Amino acid sequence: MSGVMTQEESRLANAALWEKLNSRDPILEKQAEDTVNSFTRTRMREDGFMRKIMPPTPITNDELDRSASTDKPMKIVDREPDSPASISIPFATLPSNLYIKGDRYVVTFQRITTPRFTKDVDELRTWYMDIRQVLSDNSIKDMLAEEDGKLLRGVNTALVGAGIPVPNSGTVQYEQIPGGITRDSWADGLKVMPNTPSNLEVHMHLMNNITVKDLMKFTHNEMGGTLSEDIAKNGWSLQEFMGVKLVVTVKKGLVATNSVYGFADPKFIGKFYTLEDATMYIRREAYMIEFFSYESIGATIGWTSGLSRIDYI
Amino acid sequence: MSATLMTAQTLNAIKGWPQPSAVDFVAPFDATVGVTPTNVVPPGTVVHLNNSGNYVLGVGNLAVMPLFTFQGSNDPDVVNAYGGDPSADVGSSVPITPSGAVMALVAIGAYELVSTNYYTGGTYNPNTPLTADVSGGSSGHPAGQLYAGTIGTNMIVGLVSRGVTDNGYGHNALAFWPCPVFP
């Protein structure tokens, strides 16, 4: 993301953008769109946690799969089969047969869009704030909330419920651990995902900005001298803890306090495709401009053993 | 998903839509509708909003605003029906997209619609008032399917325009102007 701009820099950037928006030249109008799009996409990469957990992959028309019953886009993804275990047998017999088949999963797509905003261009003349930021902030907040909410609804569905085994793995992947966050309970939480037959390790933790503060309660003995001292002086700044990347969100409505989600390496979770990444549409009619953002995305959790959730109660 | 031809069940607007300012609406089906991969609500079905803001089928004799669904409940941009049930099935996958929302055209909009979801045994002269039963309605018609109704008794969702016509792909469909007439 670009650094914080001074008021003078914002005014200069605004003037350049306004000139493009105010022109009757389609090329300059397109440049104005591109300016905002570039800004928006950078912000989306940085602010959304779904994009950190399942980095999106652009998909082209050639890579899409077709169906006889619909012209809507979809992508069929092969899933690595779980082969049955080998067994020991005596002499004079042959192994049992297994006709080879393989599971696949499907990613279907939909569009996420913001409301269509309108504004009189002459009212933009007086703005000192970075217009790109105003336009993109309006777009980003709601689009990312929609993306992130979809991810967690999917994860919660996949994990079935607290204390209930997930049929895919036969193990509980959503546990409630009493006693709050301590070094012991944190380490116990790290055992949940690798306890499945897939043996996946937690690659990334997701929690909210309240829960992460409980990590600061680790004692000097638990944390170690230098780190404990640094946290006491400067607060929590670690991007990684116990070998696991941390993603901290302010979206407490999505990630409850004291809940910590675990995610395996993205390649063990599923696929997140972008048919069209976040795009700002800007149109000017006389002195009114209208704009909205949209994206076409598709995502599926293909393998649920790469997920875990711990509620520290 | 069923193997229905993609042109066999449609809602089409032959006048007045699409346009950016059209009065369309987006909501999911209510859980009581019981949409599943095999219990499909086809395009062109009459629905109304319940108190939760979700679609329920038909209008019956209720004073409600009718809407006409554009997508089928099994369309891939509405539901990813391929994954199985993660609470019961081994090997299931869990879709993150789409979200189950269906676009519907509101009966108060200015357009002429053509729906394949109508009772084929009826007579549809121009200006015939149309209605659609709610689930468990007494007429014997499937919930949400268009048929000739009675003004003053049924919630009227529209008036027949050019009658039974081709949906553009060789399948019969009923053309009408949406026009809510409350009982």
Residues B81-99: tens digit of each pLDDT: 888 889 999 889 999 999 8
Residue A69 confidence class, pLDDT cut points 50, 70, 90: confident
Instruction: Say if A7-63+106-150+272-300 and A162-271+302-312 have the same CATH topology.
Output: no
Interface touch B83/A106, C-beta < 8 Å: yes
What is the spatial distance between Cα A65 and Cα A73, in angstroms, rounded to a whole number? 7
Taking only the tens place, the pLDDT of each residue in A165-190 is 999 999 999 999 999 999 899 999 99
Q: Is the Cβ of A5 closer than 8 Å to some Cβ of chain B?
A: no
Q: Average pLDDT for residues A160-166, to the nearest whole number?
A: 96
Residue A256 pLDDT more than 80? yes
pLDDT of the residue at A1: 40
pLDDT of the residue at A83: 67
**Six-digit token string for A300:** 């599926």
- Where are the strands (E) in chain A, listed by range? 57-58, 65-67, 70-78, 104-113, 117-120, 165-166, 171-172, 174-177, 204-208, 240-241, 244-249, 259-263, 270-285, 288-301, 307-312
Query: By mean pLDDT, which of A105-109, A125-129, B75-79 is the weakest?
Result: A125-129
Q: Is the Cβ of A158 closer than 8 Å to some Cβ of chain B?
A: yes
Which range scores top for mean pLDDT: A120-124, A218-222, B68-72? Answer: B68-72
Interface touch A108/B76, C-beta < 8 Å: yes
| A285: Cα within 13 Å, side-chain hemisphere | 4
Per-position DSSP letters for chain B, written without gaps between them: -----TTTS-EEEEES-S-TT--EEEEEBPGGG---SSS---TT-EEEE-TTS-EEE--TT-----EEESS-TT-TTT--TTS--TTT-TT--EE-S---EEEEEETTSS-EEEES-B-TTS---TT-EEEEPPTT-SS-SPTT-EEE--BTTB-EEEEEEEEEEE-SSS-EEEEEEEEEE--
Q: What pTM was computed for the model?
A: 0.84
Substitution target in A105, A173, A254, A296 with the highest count of B β-carbons within 10 Å is A105
Interface touch A108/B97, C-beta < 8 Å: yes
Yes or no: is domain A162-271+302-312 CATH 3.30.2320.10? yes
pLDDT of the residue at B125: 97
Is the pLDDT higher at A200 or at A232? A200
Q: Is the Cβ of A307 closer than 8 Å to some Cβ of chain B?
A: no
Report the residue of chain A nearest B20, measured CA to CA.
Answer: A116
Residue A111 pLDDT more than 70? yes
Query: By mean pLDDT, which of A94-103, B140-149, B169-178 is the weakest?
Result: A94-103
- Give CA separation, A55 vs A52, A192, A265, A306, B91, in Å: 6, 23, 10, 15, 23
Domain range annotation of chain A: 7-63+106-150+272-300, 162-271+302-312
Query: By mean pLDDT, which of A89-98, A159-168, A203-212, A248-257 is the weakest?
Result: A89-98
pLDDT of the residue at A148: 94
Q: Is the Cβ of A306 closer than 8 Å to some Cβ of chain B?
A: no
pLDDT of the residue at B3: 53
Cβ pair A153, A145 in contact under 8 A: no
Residue B52 confidence class, pLDDT cut points 50, 70, 90: very high
Report the residue of chain A nearest B102, measured CA to CA.
Answer: A110
| A135: Cα within 13 Å, side-chain hemisphere | 33
pLDDT of the residue at A12: 67
Q: Which fold has domain A7-63+106-150+272-300?
A: Major capsid protein gp5 fold (3.30.2400)
Residue A24 confidence class, pLDDT cut points 50, 70, 90: low
Query: By mean pLDDT, which of A51-65, A84-98, A114-128, B131-145 is the weakest?
Result: A114-128
Interface touch B97/A103, C-beta < 8 Å: no
Q: What percent of chain A has pLDDT over 90?
A: 49
Residues of chain A contacting B76 with CB distance shorter than 8 Å = 67, 70, 72-74, 108-109
Give me the residues paired with residue A77 across strands.
A105
Q: Tell whether the torsion through CA atoms of A167, A247, A51 and B79 is positive or negative.
A: positive
Is the pLDDT higher at B169 or at A142? B169
pLDDT of the residue at A291: 81
pLDDT of the residue at A46: 55
Q: Is the Cβ of A302 closer than 8 Å to some Cβ of chain B?
A: yes
pLDDT of the residue at A61: 95
CA-nearest of B85, B91, B113, B103 to B178 is B113
Which chain B residues touch A if contact means CB-CB below 8 Å? Answer: 1-6, 20, 75-77, 79-80, 82-83, 86-99
**Six-digit token string for A35:** 């300016």
ipTM score for this prediction: 0.83
Q: Which residues, at least 6 apart from A136, have a Cβ–Cβ distance to it below 8 Å?
A: A36, A39, A40, A43, A280, A293
Q: Is the Cβ of A244 closer than 8 Å to some Cβ of chain B?
A: no
pLDDT mean across residues, chain A: 85
Residue A9 confidence class, pLDDT cut points 50, 70, 90: low
Interface touch B92/A168, C-beta < 8 Å: yes
Residue B2 confidence class, pLDDT cut points 50, 70, 90: very low
Is the pLDDT higher at B117 or at A115? B117
CA-nearest of B39, B4, B5, B23 to B144 is B39
Alpha-carbon distance B182 to nearest alpha carbon in chain A (angstroms): 31
Interface touch A107/B90, C-beta < 8 Å: no
